[in-house]
Amino acid sequence: MLALTEDETLTQKELADRISSDPSTIRAMLVLLEKKGMIIRRQHPKDLRAKAVSLSAAGRKKAKQAWSVSQPIRNQMNGSLQREQASMLIECLNTLANSLGVASQQTSNCDVAIRPITQD
């Protein structure tokens, strides 16, 4: 929900891209959030194939609560890093998130069994 700003409307695809998630996972989350009254999904006015997603009044209220609850954590993190370190960390995390998003998209249609690595 925090990926949607108060007055912003995104398509489901734009939302999936913003949070680097699979569109089918986004759809499932949005169905649940819509049932709880946190979001509103409508036909996109310019692209009839797309759904436009925005926060409902209840969703905006919950998003504000979540933001304020996490404020002490953000304050503590900001106090422990210098500005350059924080910028570098954000850049590294964005790079990692982008590469994981690409890897996730590349492997989502593979029929590969993943087995845990064991030590002999």
Alpha helices in the chain (DSSP H): 12-18, 23-35, 57-80, 83-107
For residue 90, the model assigns a pLDDT of: 86
Does 38 fall in a domain? yes
Does 85 fall in a domain? no
Cβ atoms within 10 A of the Cβ of 83, count?
8
- Each residue of 31-74: pLDDT tens digit? 999 999 999 999 988 888 888 999 999 999 998 998 889 888 88
Does 86 fall in a domain? no
CATH number at residue 51: 1.10.10.10
Does 62 fall in a domain? yes
Does 80 fall in a domain? no
Does 105 fall in a domain? no
Does 108 fall in a domain? no
Number of domains in the chain: 1
Does 34 fall in a domain? yes
